[in-house]
Structures are given as structure tokens and as C-alpha cells.
Amino acid sequence: GAVVSQHPSRVICKSGTSVKIECRSLDFQATTMFWYRQFPKQSLMLMATSNEGSKATYEQGVEKDKFLINHASLTLSTLTVTSAHPEDSSFYICSARGDAHQGYTFGSGTRLTVV
């Protein structure tokens, strides 16, 4: 079945630094990647949608200059949290979908803690 690998699974960083999260589709071409954020005991909130080779579409209220998304290939998308602050601490999850794979496959998530 379709597999999406997300790294790192956990990261602790200092306030003001940047963190990059990678999401790779291992056995299918992901034409579309979705990035979600989830706070404790809350549901997944869509942050942005990225299509390979084009700029990401951000949801209302999500700062595109703070959450940089790159989807340069059909198997890799990255989310960079720039100048991280404690309020950015959250669980970030990617989801991938391809033309030949119509379902939504989730990565295992990244627990970000900003101290």
C-alpha cells in the first residue's frame, strides 16, 4: 500500500531557530501534499496544500512567510518553521495524494517543541 515517511518524528529547538520537516511518498508519486497542525486534544487543522512544482496554497490565518513549504519533486515536500516560538509547538502531520493514488495517506507526524 501507499506509504508516506515523515521525519523527524520529534524535534526540540530553541526559540528563534528554524526547523525543517520532511515528508516523502515512498511508493507513489504525490502530486499533492497537505500539511496539518494539531494541538493537544484538538483536530487536524489544514495549514496549506502544495502541488508539485507550484507555490503552496495557504489556509486563512496561516503565515506563508513563517511556514515555508517546498514541493520540488513528486516524492518530497518540506515544511520549514522559521523563527520558531513556543506557541508553534504542536504536532505537524503531512498527507499525500497522487493521480494514481486517490486516497489520502498520512505521515507519522512530527512533534515539535520550541523551548
Q: How big is the chain by its Cα radius of gyration, in Å?
A: 13
- If phi over 0 gives left and psi between -120 and 50 gives alpha, with beta otherwise, what is residue 16? left
**Nearest partner of 90 among 62, 57, 55, 51, judged by Cα:** 62
Site for other proteins (CB under 8 A): which residue of 17, 18, 57, 113?
57
Q: Provide the minimum distance between the beta carbon of 16 and other proteins in the complex, in angstroms, as a whole number.
A: 26
Judged by beta carbon, residue 19 or residue 48, the one nearer other proteins is 48
Question: Which residues contribute to the site for other proteins (CB under 8 A)?
Answer: 6, 32, 34, 36, 41-46, 49, 57, 91, 93, 95, 103-109, 111
